[in-house]
Amino acid sequence: MRIEVVGGGSLGLLLAARLAPHCRLQLRVRTKAQAAGINRQGVALNAGTDGPEKRTRLPVFATAGNEERDAALPFEPDWMLLTLKQKDITPRFVRELAGRMAPDTRLLCFQNGLGHAEKLAEVIPAERIWLAVTTEGAKREAPDAVRHTGAGISRIGKASTAWTADDDDAFARLSPVLDRAGLRHERRRDIRPAVWEKLIVNAVINPLTAVMRITNGELLQNKARLGLMKELFEEARSAALAHGVPLADTLWDDVVQVCKATAANRSSMLQDVESGRETEMAWISGAILEKAKEKSLKLPATELICRIVSGIEPSPGDCEYGDASSV
């Protein structure tokens, strides 16, 4: 099995480090400095959230993500695992990605939110695009070091629901490699519910923690915050149901449980805001608004929180949702 991991962030490093002993693996990262460091000494994989470090050095082929270096990659992969954030999936990047794919290469996308499958399908055949929804916890501690902060599960399915015998065979070859790497997973014939359920969890927790500058657990500490959470939840849920996506009856309880289980965590959106980086708001709550618009639904709480987060991002006004008269 030949696997290429695209992205040198926390999840990309975790997947590369786990998978490297069990397949032919190559890792693409953004900078030449990170590539050089990984090529010298591999990726340090540390387990657990505390206690003494247990460092394992694994050989990983790394290359900076540009056309000149891409020519040096040793093989065309059976599977490409895309771990970049949605904002980094630019038209130029998609064209370069398509050029790296063999006729039978499958692309497995680990992005949060909605919209990336459609963007990729403008260049890459839709039947080769797969989606993964993961709860694996990872934290990048250095350009060549990642900590596995919590074991999770990855739910995997095609972006389109049309399965073929070749798809069954491709997943049957990937699955044992993931098993040997200790990466729990399951196949979903319809991946949409898993995508939407994680999207809704993110749309409830991330924007509120980013605006209030609080940890996940602090959302549960008073009725006003819980009320805001419930409003965002019900609006996002209505958009999913309007598109015929079935959701778990326990989803609200799941949102609350995520807050409890990650009580001390500072959400990725909060970290982006504090660091002056662009957030993923456009692909989380913004995507929900786009889906609601398709069904003529009004989501006032979601629209308002989108506009607030947009206003505190580095370039206010670049990412606007709705208009002032509708709030």
What confidence tier does 100 reach under pLDDT thresholds 50, 70, 90? confident
Mean pLDDT over 43-71 rounds to 68
For residue range 268-310, what is the model confidence (pLDDT) as tens digits?
899 889 988 889 899 999 999 999 999 999 999 999 999 999 8
The owner of tokens 């050089």 is 36
Assign 281 to helix, strand or coil.
Answer: helix
Among the ranges given (155-164, 173-182, 183-192), the one the predictor scored with the smallest mean pLDDT: 155-164
Backbone angles phi, psi at 240, to 5 degrees: -60, -45
- More reliable by pLDDT, 58 or 70: 58
pLDDT of residue 49: 63
Same CATH topology for 2-187 and 192-326: the answer is no
The yes-or-no verdict on residue 145 having pLDDT over 70 is yes
Length of the chain equals 327
For residue range 257-276, what is the model confidence (pLDDT) as tens digits?
999 988 888 888 998 899 88
- Domain locations in the chain as residue ranges: 2-187, 192-326
CATH superfamily of 2-187: NAD(P)-binding Rossmann-like Domain (3.40.50.720)
Q: How far apart are CA 247 and CA 57, in angstroms?
A: 41
pLDDT of residue 54: 64
Q: What is the CATH number of domain 192-326?
A: 1.10.1040.10
The yes-or-no verdict on residue 98 having pLDDT over 60 is yes
Residue 323 neighbours by CB under 8 Å, 6+ apart: none
Mean pLDDT over 203-220 rounds to 95
Share of the chain above pLDDT 70, in %: 90
Q: How far apart are CA 270 and CA 208, in angstroms?
A: 9
The yes-or-no verdict on residue 71 having pLDDT over 60 is no
Q: How far apart are CA 269 and CA 288, in angstroms?
A: 16
Structure letter (DSSP) for residue 318? S
The yes-or-no verdict on residue 142 having pLDDT over 60 is yes
The yes-or-no verdict on residue 326 having pLDDT over 60 is no
pLDDT of residue 324: 28
Assign 82 to helix, strand or coil.
Answer: strand
For residue range 220-230, what is the model confidence (pLDDT) as tens digits?
999 999 999 99
Among the ranges given (40-49, 113-122, 235-244), the one the predictor scored with the smallest mean pLDDT: 40-49
Mean pLDDT over 25-50 rounds to 85
- More reliable by pLDDT, 236 or 152: 236
Among the ranges given (116-125, 149-158, 309-318), the one the predictor scored with the smallest mean pLDDT: 309-318
What confidence tier does 117 reach under pLDDT thresholds 50, 70, 90? very high
Residue 92 neighbours by CB under 8 Å, 6+ apart: none
Sort strands 154-158 and 129-134 into parallel, antiparallel or unpaired: antiparallel
pLDDT of residue 52: 56
pLDDT of residue 318: 41
For residue range 19-37, what is the model confidence (pLDDT) as tens digits?
999 999 999 998 888 988 8
Angle of helix 285-294 versus helix 223-242 axis, rounded to 10: 40
> What's the mean pLDDT when you consider all of the chain?
88
